Amino acid sequence: PKRCPCAKVTAMAATNVVVVGGGIVGASIAHYLAKLGAKPLIIEQCGVACHSSGKGAGFLALNWNDRSPVGPLARRSFQLHQELADEFGAEQIGYRRLNCISCSAGNTPLRGPESRAWLDRTTGDFQPMGTTETLAQVQPRKLTEALVDSATGKGATLLIDKVIGMKTTAATGGVQVCEVLTEKTGPLCCDAAVIAMGPWSQA
């Protein structure tokens, strides 16, 4: 997006998109927009995956939410992460399928092939959590960085700056963001803005 004063924006499909936030959500949006031919601008205050997106466990489960309203979304997410591993390379994003059991700390000594240096006593109860068919793990920072690299490789831009406000203009059915205000770079015109700042987002 170019630096310019706020001007009237038509109701055409947005091709000039600003994504505010360089975490997993913003990176994913930029990646898929770029694959569709857009050239989004990602604005991140401190760095890609510098907050929670770079510090999560990255645990992925296919069927744990099957009885909830988000069950279909969880299944699609599991499939999507496999597709991203195929696209970027599993090692590049730290992706792996795994078997997993649950155990709790307790008073029962743990011996034999199940012993682990970090857990020498348990309750004695082990519960299967899933297999390589239903469980996976990804390194969130690596995935977020790979998504941003993919987007910038297709024409997106990463800007390290702080967003301090937005301007809107009248549009069909309501208002539309026409300008994103940044602390250092100044005003940036756009056709659309996506706020992907996690808990730092404000209504």
Q: pLDDT per residue over 47-106, tens digit each? A: 999 988 999 899 999 999 999 999 999 999 999 999 999 999 999 999 999 999 887 766
> Does position 7 have pLDDT exceeding 80, yes or no?
no
> What contacts 141, CB < 8 A, 6 or more positions away?
49, 53, 54, 55
Q: What is the mean pLDDT of the chain?
A: 86
Quick one: average pLDDT of 100-113? 69
> What contacts 39, CB < 8 A, 6 or more positions away?
15, 154, 155, 156, 157
Nearest to 17 by CA among 41, 43, 36: 41
Q: What is the pLDDT of residue 14?
A: 41
Burial of 133 (0-12, 13-18, 19+ CB in 10 A): exposed
- Asked if 194 and 31 count as a contact pair (C-beta separation under 8 A), the reply is no
Q: Which residue has the higher pLDDT, 107 or 122?
A: 107
Specify the pTM: 0.83
Handedness of CA 143, 149, 153, 157 (dihedral sign): positive
71-88 vs 140-153: helix crossing angle, rounded to 10: 70
Cα–Cα distance, 136 to 110 (Å, whole number): 26
Nearest to 193 by CA among 5, 33, 22, 16: 16
Helices (H) then strands (E): counts for the chain? 4, 12
- Asked if 6 and 176 count as a contact pair (C-beta separation under 8 A), the reply is no
Which regions of 34-120 does DSSP assign to beta strands (E)?
Answer: 41-44, 59-61, 96-97, 100-109
